[in-house]
Structures are given as structure tokens and as C-alpha cells.
Structure 1
Amino acid sequence: MAGLVVVIDIGKTHSKASLWTPDGRELARTRYSNRQAEANGYPCLDIDGIEAWLRASLSDFARMGTVSAIIPIAHGAACAVVRGRELVAAPMDYEADLPADILHAYREQRDAFSETGSPSMDRGLNLGAQLHALEARIPDLLAGDAVIVPWPQYWAWRLTGVAVSEVTSLGAHTDLWSPIRKAPSPMAVRRGWAQRLAPFCHAGDVVGTLLPEWSAATGLPAETRVHAGLHDSNAALLAARMYPEIRDRDAAIVSTGTWFVTMRPIREEQTELAALGQGGVVNVDVNGLPVPTLIFMGGREVEILCGEGIRIDDPQYEDGIMAALPGCVSKGAMILPTFVPGTGPFAGASGAWLNPPQNPIERAAAVALYVGLLTDFALARVGARGTIMIDGRFARAKAFVSVLACLRADHHIYAARQEADLALGAMSLLSPTLSVQGSLELIKPEPLDLSGYRTRWLEASGEKGPSA
């Protein structure tokens, strides 16, 4: 089979690679659990482990047909510094603590939210903070012809040897981009980082073809085209717009994984950035338009709260978890934010359980209620209206989507049941006429009144009124 496309999806917790026909039919998929790594004395992303897995995956795909194109997706809070074919500085792990004096000195130089749409975030979640810390550690970091390459484009560089930058990656709470100006931020210019950004291109542009070493190691054709790629949340946004239920509506998108990213795309230019409050970010889509967004680490919270017990997205327990929801509400079992300090709309709060259930099914139900409440709060912040779409891992968590449908009973809540939504979004850049093979599931509200429960949760969390 010819003309196949590979989508590489490098998440924070897991990495995935998938093989597709040009008309959007998935043929194969591999998955890798990212590990902790270190470079030059600092915690970095697992570039060696991911690369070894990617070589093996591409080799498997090469035996299934002729691959003509590869496009990468990755999260936004990372970059590499490269010089020609040399890696000068590996991407830093944004969850690693930065020295307090380094972080304080950096924050005094940041531009205002009204300029960048990028809030001051914990640890290395602002890409500028990583660059500041790297320059303190590596004084000649940007010497010579070194350039800064965002994380999705790192993989395009690794496959082709060509370094580029792309706007969705730089518009993801990096402090380096001004959405209104559609240009690097004033701070990025002052620090000399803007001048060191690799040349810009569109996410769907071809960067180059495979390096000989990759072709030889994987069996892929030397002429395989590699596209620049994009920020993962924007791939989810593109995928959502492919569905007829979403395409022509004012719809909010909730992309779920390690991060829950709630976006409400706008259809016209904004003259000022939205005041989203804590946890709010103004991302940038592939056309350079601002996208009001609210983010929190919902997947990480689920992992912490469920521990080794029953997960809310485990299909074998979904009926039991659903049945346990009313009991959790009536008993006042409740989780207060947040169990991932320094992130999201409740970044300064310390998580707590109220009336914690001992039964593992009921505990999972309480977690589903909690994540649903956080998502409802995020939707209120971005101004969600009539239509909401949930995609990603937790779109298949029945209790979570049901809770959200109850909280938003006057909205149309759709869930994407197929796992490959990000990949389809990336593929739409290569094939604009690509259509979605599956359909969305309309989630009907259960006969469960959560209005009082939500009000109590908001009050206990320090909020004065119900979300809208």
C-alpha cells in the first residue's frame, strides 16, 4: 500500500505513533511510556528512549506499506537548542523544580499577560523560564549559529536535520509570543531569544526528507517527507473542527490526557486578550488566531487520586462507577482542588477529601465528580455556550462525561470515542478534504441533580458563586 502517513504524538506521559491511509483509516499504532532522563546535570525529556522506540515503530510501519509523509505532534512546554546537526541542550522536563533565585529573577523580566496571553506558571511550564535557567547553566548556550527549536519541531529536525519553528508551539504559555502582534514577545526580543528562534514555517509545511541514517535504520523511503508539526492541543482543535456536529458551531473543545485543555476557538480577530483568570492561557491556532484556553492537569490528578485502585476510565468498572455517583453526592463525598500544586485555576490551593468513601468503586465515582466539576469550571471561564466536545483519553470515561452532561444539561455534550483524534487533526493539514470516519456520541444527562453539589464544591473551594 502506498502513500501512507505516520503521525508521531509525543505526550508528557506517553508517546504514540500511528500509521494511516491517505483517506484517514488507521492501520497500526504503537505506544511508549516516557521515562525520566538527565542531560548536563538537569532533568530532561526522554529523547533517547523515545528515539529508540520511534525507530522500532517506523521499522514496523515500513513493512506494512510505503510511507510518504510523517508529521509530529508534541506538548508545548519544551524546546531544544541545536547547532547544525548537534544537540546543544536537550529539552528540559517542565516538572523539574528550578532554583528559587533563578525563577525569581526570570519572573521579574516577564511581559504582562495582556501582551502574551501566557500566565506565570510553576517550575518550567513557561518556556522562557527554561531558557533562562539553561543560560545560567550553559553560558555559551546560544553561541555561534545555535537556534531554539520547539519540541514538536525537534522531531522534524531529528528526522531531517532541518531546524524550524512554528506558531502553535510558541503560542502555548511560553512567554515568547505575542498573539495580537503575531510576533515574538518584547521579552524574547530583549533577551535575544527571538533572534535565535529557528526559521518559521506553517505546521503543515514540508521541512525536508528523511536523513539517510533514518532511512537505513527503518527501511522507510529516503524521499519520505517530514512536516513541521504542531502543538498537541491545536491538533485536537483541528480534529474537532472535522466533525459536522462541531464544524459550523460556536463550540468549546475539551482535550483530555495528562492535561485537560479547554478551548473556545474564536472566529474573528481579537483586539485584546481575554481575562481568563488563574489557569487561563491564550493559545494560538495554526492560522495565528488567539484561542482562549484554560488548562489543568486532570489526568495527573486522576492518577494521584485513584492510585493503584480503580481508574475512572476503566471500562470494566464503568457501570459500577455510574451506579455509585448518586450515593457519593448524597453522602457529601467530595474532593477539593488541587493535588497538583502550582497548576490550573486553583494553583494556590491544597487538595483535600471531604467524607472520603472507603469502597474503591465509590472512590472512583468521587474522582469522576471532581474532574467533572473542574472541567465545568474551566468551561465557564472560557465562555462555553451551546456545544461542547470532549476528546482524548477521558472522553471514554463514562462517569466523567455523564457528570459533565448533568452539570451542563442545557448544552449539547459530544464525546469522541476513537482514540486517534489528535492524529486526525494533524493529518488534516496534509489532506484538507479528509473526513472523519466515525461520529460523535451525544451524551444525554442522567437523572442526577448536581446543582447543589456544585454550589457546595465551589464554596468549599473558595469560589463565591456557581459556574455558568
Structure 2
Amino acid sequence: MQNICVVFDIGKTNKKILAFNESYEVVYEKSKSFPEILDDDGEACDDLLSLNNWLKSEFELVKNNPEFSIKGLNFSGYGASLVHLDHHGKTIAPLYNYLKAFPKELKKTFEEKYGPLSTFFSDTASPDLGMLNSGMQLYWLKYQKTEVFKNTKYSLHFPQYLSYVFSQIPQSEFTSVGCHTAMWDFTKQAYHHWLENEHLESGLLPSVSASQAVIKDGIPIGPGIHDSSSALVPYMKTIKEPFVLISTGTWCISINPFNEEPLSQRELESDCLNFLSYEGKSVRASRLFSGNEHERQIKHLSSYFEVDSEYYKTVKFDYKIIQILRKTHNQATPDKTDLGQLRECPFVERNLNQFKSFEQAYHQFIMDLVAQQVASTKLVFGKNIPKKIFVDGGFSKNPIFMNLLSEAFFNSEIYASEVAQASALGAALVISAYWSDKIFDDSKLKLSRFF
């Protein structure tokens, strides 16, 4: 029988249950996706009831498996989402989607009370993101869903709701409350006063560390952790010198846990923000929608050059192509690259008939993408250039991206990292004191250096 930590890793698309043994290896994994349902406004949202039932049934399956003995349970989940509970601890509203539009008239009244917005969002270390600022969802609930608001006892961030399903203890936690919520005042390291002014007590639970578990039926249950913050944990546990992590997927997020400088207005406008680590410390992050842009351009390039949509995976880094393109085409540079919410890659302005082959066009596309990435990543550096930069996720496997990044950041060591199930692993690691006495070391990061 193996001692394990069970982790539910709940993304927008895939919902997973994983089990880690005491050596932090995945020994069990299942995933499920659920069709979305409609909320009371007729807009798409996650199906909380189906998710709830699945969480409980899957946990029971593992619990009753004679191969395993559960010694810990934790959760990683997406942010910017709140679950509202009534005085009996029951869900009282749908899991409203963070992509819902925030009403203009509400924004206007909010600014009249707490503006100017530039100062407000500077204090809360987040760009103005509408419903993606989950604190704004509480404000919206108060004025647009008054009956729900009147009967709400607790408003839990989604990862903490997942924990609540099993612990029945309502909690707040640093990584959730501190990530572009407009709830946390980074100048005071406390909840922003506007929440008390609006009597939004349902969202004002004291925040605990993600490593603080409660014991229920003999099993330590973690409070849950925001998935982006969770993916950082394996690095923070093993790398002690200053580093930057570029976590790549649909979004490419540059993260610096060693930069605690205040955000400038320019950085905020360039989609830069601060969030809280699992230890409650300020972390600088910047975002690019590069994974989404890559998906779009691959469809375009594959169609134009009449190749398979997976063909790009066979394209090797060719420095001769890079040299030719630099001589024959105007190149985007980091200092002249446009950043900010959902900004398009400079490649969209290029005419494909200028390129002789898919290989040439794809190299140019990645060159343009890296120019944006370099500009975005530099925003998180602060005063000191980091000695090491780690890249995980999809782009870490792209040799053109990695070689160009290494060239651009020649003063830093650039590593591709392969961490299996990083956000789930992070959730297991933060409560490891409760279930494993083995040390997690950097050999688990599977690092490959690019020169």
C-alpha cells in the first residue's frame, strides 16, 4: 500500500484528479470535462453541481482503492471566480463566468466612490480587468443580484470552495485573494478599505497560507491554491537564487518572486500585475496571450503553405534562416513592441507572400513572438537581471523560441523545464509537511539549458 496525496486540479477545460506518492511521482490520474450550463442571465458557466458530485465520487474511488492510503488532500483551481454560500453553507448562485461583461454604469459609480481608477488599481496591483477582478464580482452581486447578495454568508474563491466541499470550513487564502482581485491593498498588505465600506463581509474572511491544512477524518486537507501560483511552487521549493519563470500555455506568464517594487502606471497598462505567493509575499507577473496567438497563426500558415497543422512541430531551429530574415525583413524589437491586454503579435502585419517556405515564415513568426516575450519578461525584472530564467509549458519544447530567448537574454542562464502536472504538484508540495518527509529537489524539474 502506497501513502499518497490526492490533488484535484480543476481547470476551465479539464478537471483532473491525481495522486502523488511520497517521492512526488504521479501514481494515479484521471480527467473529465463537463459541458457548460447557463447561469440566470443565460450566459455560459461551469456546472457546480456536476463538479461537486464528481469530486466526491472520485475521492471515494481512490479512498477505497486497496493500493493507496490517503495522507493528504489539496486542490489547485482557476482564479477570478467566486462561489457564494448561504447561511446553511449551500451554494446560492451559479459560478458566474469571469468573462461576463462588467456594466459600464456600475464602473462609473465605483469610480465616483473610489477613484480615480488609476490610483485604485495601482494600490491593488492589478490592471482594470472588469469581472476578472473578482472583487468587482462582489460589487456587481450587491447591486445587480440583490436577493442573492442579501442571502450570501460567504463568498469563496474557487480553489477554497473546492476545499470547502470536503472540509466544510470556509476560508480565504493568499494566492487567491492576491491575484488581480482588486481586493488586496498591496501598499498596506491587507484587504482594501472599499470592501468594508460596501459591507462586503462575505468576501472578507481572514487569509491563511496555502500550506496550512485542517484535519478531517484523519486526513490533512489543504485550503486550495490558485493554479498559476501553484505552478511556481516547485521552483520556489528548490531554487534559492533569484530567478524568473516564464510559464507558457494559452497565456505566457512571466513571474518574478524576487521583485517587490511598486508597480508603475506604464507597467499596469502593459498587463503587469502583482500577486501573492503561497507564503503571502508579493510576486511580480506580466502576461502575453502568446499561446492563443500561436494557435491562430498556425492555422493561417498551415492553410497558406498547404501543410498539416502539426507540421510546425517538425521545424528545427535554423540560424541561417534567422540571418537571412534579419537582412531582408524589418524586425520587431522589444523596445518598440506593443504590450497590453490581448495585443496582437507584430506578425499579423506581415504579408505571407514575402516568405519562400513554411519554415521561413514560421521562423519569422517566432522571432516576432519572442520580441514581444522579451519586452513582457523585462517588465518583471526590477533592478536586477535574474541569473536564471526557466521556461515551462508548450513553448519550452519549441527550439526556435528557446534559442531566440537565450540569445536575447544572453546575461542569464536559460533553461527549458519539464515539470509534469506543475500546478497539481505545487498543491501537493505546499502541504508536504503533513504527508511526506522526503525532500523535493531540482532533479524533478528536468532542466535543459540553452546556450
TM range (shorter): 0.7 to 0.9
Identify the match of residue 349 of structure 2 among 350, 353, 363.
353
- Which residue in the other structure is 1:91 paired with? 95
Q: CA deviation at 1:207?
A: 4.0
Aligned amino acid, residue 392 of structure 1: G
Deviations 1:295-338 (A, max 9, x none): 2333333333334877xxx997534153496366566498999x
Please report the TM-score for the alignment, with normalisation by the length of structure 1: 0.78
Change (3 A) 1:295 1:200: same
Query: Aligned partners of 1:360, 1:95: CA distance in 2, in Å?
Result: 35
Q: CA deviation at 1:241?
A: 1.9
Deviations 1:405-437 (A, max 9, x none): 122122101121232222232222222553134
Deviations 1:442-461 (A, max 9, x none): 4324xxxxxxxxxxxxxxxx
- Which residue in the other structure is 2:258 paired with? 266
Query: Aligned partners of 1:368, 1:34: CA distance in 2, in Å?
Result: 34
- Which residue in the other structure is 2:142 paired with? 135
Question: 3-state DSSP class of the match of 1:91?
Answer: coil
Q: CA deviation at 1:71?
A: 0.9
Please say if residues 168 and 285 of structure 1, whose CA atoms lie closer than 8 Å, have aligned partners that are also in contact. Answer: yes
Deviations 1:109-160 (A, max 9, x none): 4562332112212x42111222222333310333256111011101111233
Q: CA deviation at 1:59?
A: 5.3
Identify the match of residue 281 of structure 1 among 250, 268, 273.
273
Please say if residues 35 and 47 of structure 2, whose CA atoms lie closer than 8 Å, have aligned partners that are also in contact. Answer: yes
Task: Give the alignment of 1:13-162 within 5 angstroms.
Answer: 13-33=13-33, 35-41=35-41, 42-48=43-49, 50-51=51-52, 54-55=55-56, 57-58=58-59, 61-62=62-63, 63=65, 64-83=67-86, 84-108=88-112, 109=114, 112-121=120-129, 123-144=130-151, 146-162=153-169
- Which residue in the other structure is 1:391 paired with? 392
Q: CA deviation at 1:362?
A: 5.1
- Which residue in the other structure is 1:434 paired with? 439
Deviations 1:331-389 (A, max 9, x none): 6498999xxxxxx9333856633133595555554443344233211221111432111
Query: Aligned partners of 1:22, 1:390: CA distance in 2, in Å?
Result: 26
- Which residue in the other structure is 2:185 paired with? 178
Query: Aligned partners of 1:142, 1:236: CA distance in 2, in Å?
Result: 33
Change (3 A) 1:336 1:103: farther
Question: 3-state DSSP class of the match of 2:374?
Answer: helix
Q: CA deviation at 1:168?
A: 1.1
Query: Aligned partners of 1:328, 1:12: CA distance in 2, in Å?
Result: 39
Please say if residues 243 and 387 of structure 2, whose CA atoms lie closer than 8 Å, have aligned partners that are also in contact. Answer: yes
Query: Aligned partners of 1:419, 1:49: CA distance in 2, in Å?
Result: 27
Aligned amino acid, residue 181 of structure 1: K
Residue range with higher mean Cα deviation, 140-149 or 81-90: 140-149
Query: Aligned partners of 2:359, 2:61: CA distance in 1, in Å?
Result: 39
Is the aligned partner of 1:379 residue 2:377? yes
Change (3 A) 1:250 1:353: same
Query: Aligned partners of 1:360, 1:51: CA distance in 2, in Å?
Result: 46
Query: What's the C-alpha RMSD, in Å, of the aligned pairs?
Result: 3.3
- Which residue in the other structure is 2:246 paired with? 254
- Which residue in the other structure is 2:367 paired with? 369
Query: Aligned partners of 2:332, 2:162: CA distance in 1, in Å?
Result: 39
Structure 1 residue ranges without an equivalent (≥5)? 210-221, 338-343, 446-468
Change (3 A) 1:368 1:140: same
Question: 3-state DSSP class of the match of 1:69?
Answer: strand
Please say if residues 24 and 434 of structure 1, whose CA atoms lie closer than 8 Å, have aligned partners that are also in contact. Answer: no
Question: 3-state DSSP class of the match of 1:142?
Answer: helix
Change (3 A) 1:35 1:144: closer
Question: 3-state DSSP class of the match of 2:170?
Answer: coil
- Which residue in the other structure is 2:283 paired with? 291
Please say if residues 21 and 27 of structure 1, whose CA atoms lie closer than 8 Å, have aligned partners that are also in contact. Answer: yes
Query: Aligned partners of 2:310, 2:221: CA distance in 1, in Å?
Result: 36
The number of equivalent residue pairs is 419
Change (3 A) 1:321 1:205: same
Query: Aligned partners of 2:61, 2:299: CA distance in 1, in Å?
Result: 34
Please say if residues 210 and 279 of structure 2, whose CA atoms lie closer than 8 Å, have aligned partners that are also in contact. Answer: no
Change (3 A) 1:37 1:277: same
Aligned amino acid, residue 31 of structure 1: S
Please say if residues 126 and 268 of structure 2, whose CA atoms lie closer than 8 Å, have aligned partners that are also in contact. Answer: no
- Which residue in the other structure is 1:448 paired with? none
Structure 2 residue ranges without an equivalent (≥5)? 303-308
Query: Aligned partners of 2:204, 2:314: CA distance in 1, in Å?
Result: 50
Q: CA deviation at 1:40?
A: 1.8
Query: Aligned partners of 1:229, 1:131: CA distance in 2, in Å?
Result: 21
Please report the TM-score for the alignment, with normalisation by the length of structure 2: 0.81
Please say if residues 318 and 398 of structure 1, whose CA atoms lie closer than 8 Å, have aligned partners that are also in contact. Answer: no
Change (3 A) 1:403 1:90: farther
Seq. identity, %: 20
Please say if residues 155 and 202 of structure 2, whose CA atoms lie closer than 8 Å, have aligned partners that are also in contact. Answer: no
Deviations 1:39-68 (A, max 9, x none): 222432343454455456545544341223
Deviations 1:17-41 (A, max 9, x none): 3210022111122334464432222
Q: CA deviation at 1:181?
A: 1.8
Change (3 A) 1:134 1:334: farther
Q: CA deviation at 1:271?
A: 7.3
- Which residue in the other structure is 2:306 paired with? none
Is the aligned partner of 1:168 residue 2:163? no
Aligned amino acid, residue 247 of structure 2: S
Please say if residues 335 and 354 of structure 1, whose CA atoms lie closer than 8 Å, have aligned partners that are also in contact. Answer: no
